[in-house]
């Protein structure tokens, strides 16, 4: 299995644009050095040309030329349709004894004797950085849309008796919070569980890590939606799971395709109530089909339900798959407070079948011991007083108004480049380019230079993306900021991407 996914894990290459050495040669030299130093290993999959070109900030032709140099010199091989790989047999000229280091500071030397995936973590850092707190980031905090006065009052009140919450305690987390999650999230998302099935985590990311580590072994086949959330895929990759990239259509994951590709897979990670990033709902018949497959094969369905409390146009939120699993045996539900409260609060939970309770509790104990009970008590109280549900209602209303504004502005200002895809829930919409030969990663970078976050949809795909577009968040920004941001995107498109106008 290749170690470097083609879309997600480019490594850092610093260019000296004032140097007499051409950019393609500099890039080729940097990759060659990474191979010689062991940062890249034989068989590693190099990032796709388009991805790395956008990351490094050069034209695709330059990157193409750099890869060409490396192929010619024997450092890498290129297989049409599959991508480029570090050669299993290095060129004769390779001298691994004399590693060319740029500087000899011990702190920057490449360490040896590491876990095979250690360098993968290093590479992930630059490729998976969070969005900046600027329009139109998907999730951030704001004065008017994040919990305010009431939440602060509860925090202050509980902080006065903080010694109640500073002991070693149970790894699954505070009972009061688990009870509230059962009641409140039960009502909002249609989940069915008892408090003992809930393990509090420090967010979905910790839940992904638990599931990948506990439910699967290296080499196991697991279905993933393609496109999907790169930070979740990174955990799969880190755990050496064999990722089966199953396409999605307007009804969500194409289960028939999963069955064709890997009927014997051990599980499936899925965002059924708001596909990440495209935004569609998974239809009831597909959900039933997936549940039946899981039941028949003893496979796990891991449901990432990250922002589905928010549905607009008078439609009720679509219930979770967890609540549809009549056997209660196959679904692991991953929930988070990152979206509805604060991303930096780092609080989430997993809901597991009864058979997994002690396995997950034990894992929390040995991996992280326990969570912060003061924070858990604060959220439990916020829920107990009915404030959480009030906050969700207020968010739904405020977000709907901002979403409508964004849709109107996209129609008025950007229609010559594309349109918003369907989807009536969550915290972002997808603006799909009409001319699919545009490079959305380049648009993303150009927008960022103008102070706008607009994540490219290509970022979420593993291979050549069938959809190019931008992910636009709307919830946490005031009307004038949304207006200014859409106009700015229009300016970027007109000034730099005029040839893709339709």
Ligand X SMILES: Cc1ncc(COP(=O)(O)O)c(C=O)c1O
Least gap, CB of 98 to ligand X (angstroms): 43
Least gap, CB of 331 to ligand X (angstroms): 16
CA distance 74 to 83: 15
Structure tokens at 19: 């140097």
Q: Which is nearer to ligand X, 337 or 431 (CB)?
A: 337
Q: Which is nearer to ligand X, 55 or 338 (CB)?
A: 338
Q: Report phi then psi at 209, rounded to 5.
A: -60, -40
Least gap, CB of 306 to ligand X (angstroms): 4
Q: Which is nearer to ligand X, 76 or 198 (CB)?
A: 198
Q: Which is nearer to ligand X, 348 or 353 (CB)?
A: 348
Looking only at Cα atoms, what is the longest distance across the chain? 71
Task: Please say whether the beta carbons of 63 and 53 come within 8 A.
Answer: yes
Least gap, CB of 237 to ligand X (angstroms): 16
Q: Which is nearer to ligand X, 26 or 336 (CB)?
A: 336
Q: Extract the runs of DSSP E, i.e. beta strands, from 18-136.
A: 76-79, 83-86
Least gap, CB of 27 to ligand X (angstroms): 31
Task: Please say whether the beta carbons of 398 and 144 come within 8 A.
Answer: yes
Q: Which is nearer to ligand X, 151 or 345 (CB)?
A: 345
CA distance 110 to 258: 40
- How far separated are the first and last CA of the chain, in Å rounded? 41
Parallel, antiparallel, or unpaired for β 300-304 and 418-420? unpaired
**3, 197, 250, 285, 353 from 324: Cα distances, Å:** 36, 16, 21, 12, 13
- Rounded to 10 degrees, what is the CA torsion of 403, 407, 412, 415? 150
Least gap, CB of 69 to ligand X (angstroms): 37
Least gap, CB of 28 to ligand X (angstroms): 35
Q: Which of 319, 362, 368, 361 is CA-nearest to residue 346?
A: 368
Q: Which is nearer to ligand X, 55 or 205 (CB)?
A: 205
Q: Which is nearer to ligand X, 239 or 336 (CB)?
A: 336
Summarize as ranges the residues that interact with ligand X (CB under 6 A). Answer: 139, 203-205, 229, 271, 276, 304, 306, 336, 338, 343, 348
Question: Which residues have C-beta within 8 Å of that of residue 82, sequence separation ≥ 6?
Answer: none
Structure tokens at 371: 């969570």
- Rounded to 10 degrees, what is the CA torsion of 229, 232, 233, 239? 180
Least gap, CB of 205 to ligand X (angstroms): 4
DSSP state of 111: P
DSSP state of 166: -
Q: Which is nearer to ligand X, 78 or 421 (CB)?
A: 421
Least gap, CB of 271 to ligand X (angstroms): 6
CA distance 436 to 438: 5
């Amino acid at each position: 299995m290749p170690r470097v996914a083609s879309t997600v894990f480019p490594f850092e290459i610093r260019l000296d644009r004032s140097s007499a050495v051409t950019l393609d040669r500099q890039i080729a030299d940097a990759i060659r050095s990474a191979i010689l130093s062991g940062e890249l290993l034989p068989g590693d999959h190099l990032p796709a040309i388009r991805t790395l070109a956008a990351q490094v900030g050069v034209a695709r032709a330059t990157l193409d030329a750099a890869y060409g140099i490396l192929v010619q010199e024997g450092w890498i091989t290129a297989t049409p349709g599959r991508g480029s790989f570090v050669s299993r047999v290095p060129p004769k000229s390779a001298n691994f004894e004399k590693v060319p280091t740029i500087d000899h500071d011990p702190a920057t030397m490449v360490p040896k004797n590491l876990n095979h995936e250690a360098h993968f973590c290093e590479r992930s850092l630059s490729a998976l950085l969070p969005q900046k707190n600027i329009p139109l980031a998907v999730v951030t905090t704001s004065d008017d849309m994040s919990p305010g006065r009431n939440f602060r009052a509860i925090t202050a009140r509980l902080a006065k008796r903080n010694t109640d919450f500073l002991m070693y305690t149970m790894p699954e987390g505070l009972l009061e919070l688990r009870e509230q999650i059962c009641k409140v999230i039960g009502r909002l998302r249609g989940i069915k569980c008892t408090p003992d099935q809930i393990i509090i985590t420090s967010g979905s990311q910790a839940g992904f890590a638990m599931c990948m580590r506990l439910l699967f072994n290296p080499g196991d086949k697991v279905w993933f939606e393609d496109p999907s959330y790169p930070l979740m895929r990174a955990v799969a990759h880190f755990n050496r799971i064999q990722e089966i990239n199953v396409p999605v259509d307007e009804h969500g994951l194409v289960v028939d395709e999963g069955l064709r590709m890997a009927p014997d897979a051990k599980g499936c990670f899925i965002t059924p109530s708001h596909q990440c990033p495209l935004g569609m709902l998974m239809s009831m018949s597909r959900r039933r089909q997936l549940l039946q497959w899981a039941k028949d094969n003893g496979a796990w369905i891991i449901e990432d339900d990250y922002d589905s409390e928010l549905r607009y146009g008078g439609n009720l939120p679509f219930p979770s798959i967890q609540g549809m699993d009549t056997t209660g045996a196959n679904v692991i539900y991953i929930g988070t407070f990152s979206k509805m409260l604060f991303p930096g609060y780092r609080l989430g939970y997993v809901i597991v079948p009864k058979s997994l309770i002690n396995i997950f509790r034990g894992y929390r104990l040995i991996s992280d011991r326990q969570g912060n009970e003061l924070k858990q008590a604060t959220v439990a109280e916020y829920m107990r007083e009915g404030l959480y549900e009030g906050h969700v209602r207020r968010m739904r209303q405020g977000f709907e108004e901002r979403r409508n504004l964004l849709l109107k502005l996209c129609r008025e200002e950007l229609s010559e480049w594309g349109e918003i895809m369907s989807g009536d829930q969550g915290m972002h919409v997808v603006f799909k380019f009409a001319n699919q030969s545009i490079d959305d990663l380049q648009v993303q970078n150009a927008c960022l230079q103008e102070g706008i976050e607009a994540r490219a949809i290509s970022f979420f795909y593993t291979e050549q993306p069938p959809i190019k577009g931008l992910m636009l968040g709307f919830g946490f920004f005031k009307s004038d900021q949304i207006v200014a941001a859409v106009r700015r995107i229009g300016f970027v498109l007109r000034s730099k991407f005029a040839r893709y106008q339709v």
